[in-house]
Structure 1
Amino acid sequence: MAACSHLRAASFIELEPLHVCTCHSPQIQAFHERIMIDCASKDVYGAANANRARPHGPIELGSAPGVDASVNAMTLLTRLRLFDGTSTLREHVDVLIKDAVIEAIVPAGTPIEGAAVIDCAGLVLMPGLIDVHWHTTLAGITQMDAMSADPAYVHLVAAHEAERTLMRGFTCVRDPGGPAFALKRAIDQGIVVGPRIYPSGAMISQTSGHGDFRQRSEVPRRALSSLSFTEQMGVTCIADGDSEVLRRVREQLMLGASQIKLMAGGGVASLHDPLDSTQFLASELRMAVEAATDWGTYVMVHAYTPRSIQRAIRAGVKSIEHGQLADEDTVRMMADHDIWWSLQPFLQDEDANVYPDAARRESQRLVAAGTLRAYELAQRFNVKTAWGTDVLFNPQNTATQGRQLAKMTRFYAPHDVLNMATRDNSALLGMSGPRNPYPGKLGCIEVGAMADLLVVEGDPTLSLDFLKTPESSIKLIMKDGKIYKKDL
């Protein structure tokens, strides 16, 4: 496990509910003013465990006859159809789990002495899902509660939403910005239930950039001025110049970031930075990349436009978040430099944000149109493409996480979509190298892979509609060899 920071106050980056990155809003300051500064000394995630029953904690399985359950570390999954990434399901095999890994894939009916047997009743066994753009501390809270509730309540909601995330079949997420270190630590220690988390820590922004949440009254910053409240809370880091960028990147690495997030361009919901703006000088981006590379990991950037994406690529950035306004030359450049394109299905559909002003609605329209083109270009130029959701401040829409994946069959065959959300997303997580908090194979069902598995009622080679109703369609959820749901 990667080293984790001690518990810090939860803070928020974005205010709009869903679809189109919403990392900047004037109302955000009001929420940040309410954050309880002494929260670091309070075990809020422990409180969640103490005050609420955990119906989805690991399930103890009975062992085979004559075997002491207290020492039984093997589970045999039988009568299953195996999804192994192809357009056909593999049959007539059983899967043996020992401790937290897949020990063997054996012919069906092979006796395994000492193993607890789970009959999968002819259903499909598939890898646990991975969302590589999921804000673990931001998704499950409303804007109203963010503005008015006791901040400790926000922490408890985050812990509860982490459990719900796992119960939707998402056994792993990459957090692209925000203080997720405390929640990750609580999950890893078994204090609360949730997915594996690859944290980025505070997003790093230039002055006036997509992560500068200061009010106009706080500008200009004087040489001896203290950090803004959001910086003190670890929500954002404002850095101007090579030396400041270097310092801020190193701080997040110290706290346990598995990768670094920079804001390299504007956004749709921004107050100060327009969508078409390019952020950070080339030398500043290179400094961040050099610091992350020295630590054995990589830099991801928020960017939409060709200019911001190309500058980031030339600086050595490895993952572009969003990027829906990329043109052909930019996408070709991504392919040539082996860049990951972390896309989200921003489609201005029933799940999209609703903006009151015409200017932001027009920006949203441009991004939605760009989404359609982005998936076409990604396939035409064979760019490594990852999938994520970016659900924020909308507890009603967190339940659509699986639906956001299912709608991807508009662009890809069902089995290719599922590969993107398992095997491909796992490859992106692996870019964190020695900073990987969970070394081992994820997103696949192979000997030696980590035992993050689902048993589902549906055929992922034909349709992913079963992901829209995880409460009824997902019959078994296993993470790290432990079973959190068993409805067979």
Structure 2
Amino acid sequence: MKFKLTIGLFFICGLSIAQTKTILINNVEIFNGKAEKTTIGNVLIEGNLIKTVSVNPIPTDRSANTTIIDGKGKFLMPGMIDAHVHLTMESIPMQLAMVSDIGYINIVATDAAEKQLMRGFTSGRDMGGAVFSLKKAIDQGLVKGPRIYPSGATISQTGGHGDFGMPTDVPRQIGAPLSYFEKTGMTIIADGSDQVLMRTREQLRMGATQIKLMAGGGVASSYDPLDVAQFTEAEIKTAVEAAGNWGTYVAVHAYTPKAITSAVLAGVKCIEHAQLMDEATAQLLAKKGVWLS
């Protein structure tokens, strides 16, 4: 999916800026994200757009709609992007999350989102979790946080990295009710191409900007060793086609060459983690133009 990203908020170490119609920040050490050196200068922001960056004084309307800030030589830079975050999971222990109401989890996530923003991250690519409500609240200005690009629920096979059921939950009855974690949108189990297709379309329906599949084992799940491969190539391809019809892509959790290769051959556009990748697999990613996060 192609996004037009405009950095609408700078982050100053030790200084919080509330959004107003016009903001003039004077006397700051500016790193623009490209130049090798910083410069002492001034920045004019109108609405949520950076209009002028200059080493010279910037003339501006001194009306009530203008906020003028003396940066006092502090460091100023474009907001950073966290390319892999789980706002509803990162600040709560897994054992607590498993027994907590989704309302409490969202409160914890709201606090985590504000802390992300105050660390200088103005955008976050959320790679799994019930984050749609938090994104909406941030977009409406109800709470503070970065702009979020949500994946929605992680999609996992039975026994995969997103399977947080109890050991006594098998055999799972066909058509049985969803678990609480599934119903609240934290994760969802899908076995077979038909289920993967439905669950992918559900996340897109909710507003996912990309789809997250669990294609390999993990360290925060109970049933899958780190070195296992998950989902068949056909299952992954089903999600890729559904996402492609929506103008977006699939990213997968994967560590090993086997898991990564299956995902790449199925058309996945981004591999998350991949710490066990070998040279040949890295060359495959380069050849296919697949991103590594």
Q: Counterparts in 2 of 1:33-432, with a 5 A limit?
A: 59=18, 73-86=21-34, 88-91=36-39, 93-114=41-62, 115-142=66-93, 145-146=96-97, 152-342=103-293
SS of the aligned residue for 2:39 comes to: coil
Give deviations 1:235-294, integer Å, cap 9, x for gaps. Answer: 222112211111110000111111100000111343221211111111111110110011
1:176 maps to amino acid: M
SS of the aligned residue for 1:133 comes to: strand
1:204 maps to amino acid: I
Between the aligned partners of 1:112 and 1:125, the Cα distance in structure 2 is: 20
Displacement, 1:220? 1.9
Give deviations 1:333-387, integer Å, cap 9, x for gaps. Answer: 1112222111xxxxxxxxxxxxxxxxxxxxxxxxxxxxxxxxxxxxxxxxxxxxx
Between the aligned partners of 1:85 and 1:122, the Cα distance in structure 2 is: 18
Contact 2:98 2:181 in 1 (8 A): no
- TM score, norm. by length of structure 1: 0.53
Between the aligned partners of 1:78 and 1:57, the Cα distance in structure 2 is: 15
Between the aligned partners of 2:174 and 2:277, the Cα distance in structure 1 is: 38
Change (3 A) 1:156 1:227: closer
Displacement, 1:209? 1.4
Between the aligned partners of 2:174 and 2:99, the Cα distance in structure 1 is: 33
Displacement, 1:95? 1.9
Displacement, 1:228? 3.1
Displacement, 1:195? 1.5
Give deviations 1:294-329, integer Å, cap 9, x for gaps. Answer: 101111100000011011111111111110000000
Displacement, 1:59? 3.7
Q: After the TM superposition, which of the residue ranges 291-300 and 330-339 deviates more from structure 2?
A: 330-339
Change (3 A) 1:113 1:124: same
Between the aligned partners of 1:205 and 1:177, the Cα distance in structure 2 is: 11
Contact 1:163 1:195 in 2 (8 A): yes
SS of the aligned residue for 2:85 comes to: coil
Change (3 A) 1:251 1:57: farther
Change (3 A) 1:92 1:154: closer
Which ranges in structure 2 are unaligned for 5 or more consecutive residues?
A: 1-14
2:29 maps to amino acid: R
Displacement, 1:107? 4.4
1:95 maps to amino acid: V
Displacement, 1:113? 3.4
Between the aligned partners of 1:284 and 1:149, the Cα distance in structure 2 is: 31
Contact 2:253 2:272 in 1 (8 A): yes
| Higher percent of residues as strand | 2
Contact 1:206 1:240 in 2 (8 A): yes
Contact 1:79 1:108 in 2 (8 A): no
Contact 1:261 1:299 in 2 (8 A): yes
Give deviations 1:92-132, integer Å, cap 9, x for gaps. Answer: 54321111101122341242334543222223220112212
Change (3 A) 1:150 1:336: closer
Between the aligned partners of 2:124 and 2:17, the Cα distance in structure 1 is: 19
Change (3 A) 1:142 1:238: closer
SS of the aligned residue for 1:317 comes to: coil
Displacement, 1:58? 6.3
Which ranges in structure 1 are unaligned for 5 or more consecutive residues?
A: 1-55, 62-72, 343-488
Between the aligned partners of 1:149 and 1:229, the Cα distance in structure 2 is: 10
| Higher percent of residues as helix | 1
- TM score, norm. by length of structure 2: 0.86
The aligned length equals 276
1:294 maps to amino acid: N
Contact 2:153 2:188 in 1 (8 A): yes
Which structure has more relative contact order (CA 8 Å, sep 6+)? It is: 1
Contact 2:44 2:58 in 1 (8 A): no
Between the aligned partners of 1:312 and 1:146, the Cα distance in structure 2 is: 29
1:227 maps to amino acid: L
Contact 2:16 2:118 in 1 (8 A): no
Change (3 A) 1:302 1:88: same
The residue that corresponds to 1:431 in the other structure is none
